[in-house]
Amino acid sequence: MGTRYDIELTCSKCGHIQDAWYAPTCGFTEHKCRKCGHVTDLGEYTGISYEDASNLGEMQDIVDGMGEIDD
């Protein structure tokens, strides 16, 4: 799991402005323009990497910490 980003995207081909969302840890990494069909790589567009959006390390720390709880 990770972060989902709601963004306003301007198509680099036709200039159409549209709402899109980017969730790289869930596989949503591209957006197809509703007007011209141009596909935008959202990681490149936003500058946000998979690693930036991932909370895997934080979740692993929580799970690892659960083993340290005394009964």
25 φ/ψ angles, rounded to the nearest 5 degrees: -75, -10
Is 0.75 topped by the overall pTM? no
Give the count of domains, the chain: 1
- Tens of pLDDT, residue by residue over 23-63, are 988 889 999 999 999 999 999 999 988 887 776 566 666 66
Domain holding 30, by residue range, is 5-66
Note whether residue 40 is domain-resident. Answer: yes
Note whether residue 71 is domain-resident. Answer: no
Confidence of residue 67 (pLDDT cuts 50, 70, 90): low
Note whether residue 62 is domain-resident. Answer: yes
Task: Write the DSSP assignment of 3-62 as a string of letters.
Answer: --EEEEEE-TTT--EEEEEEBGGGTB-EEE-TTT--EEEHHHHH---HHHHB-HHHHHHH
